[in-house]
């Protein structure tokens, strides 16, 4: 039987309570660095068109 609450396409992650507790132990600075590092990593693998749209949005050319 299909779960009616399950979203189709995309992706999702599941985290254990232990993983969340470990992340909570990090300082705010460490958390921000982690987010920045993940953003840089993911940006490298984005399609060119997606990068271009994001850059236009950041420059205020689209809203």
Domain that holds residue 50: 17-58
Answer whether residue 45 is part of any domain. Answer: yes
- Number of domains observed in the structure of the chain: 1
Answer whether residue 3 is part of any domain. Answer: no
Answer whether residue 8 is part of any domain. Answer: no
Answer whether residue 6 is part of any domain. Answer: no
pLDDT tens, residue by residue, 8-56: 677 788 999 999 999 999 999 999 999 999 999 999 999 999 999 989 9
pTM: 0.58
Answer whether residue 9 is part of any domain. Answer: no
Q: How many residues does the chain have?
A: 63
CA distances from 17 to 6, 12, 24, 27 (A): 21, 16, 11, 18
Q: Please, what's the largest Cα pairwise distance for the chain?
A: 47
């Amino acid at each position: 039987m299909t779960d009616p609450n399950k979203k189709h396409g995309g992706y999702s992650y599941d985290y254990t309570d232990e993983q969340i507790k470990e992340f909570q132990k990090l300082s705010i600075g460490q958390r921000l660095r982690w987010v920045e590092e993940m953003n840089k990593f993911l940006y490298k693998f984005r399609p060119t068109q997606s990068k271009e749209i994001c850059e236009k949005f950041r420059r205020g050319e689209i809203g």
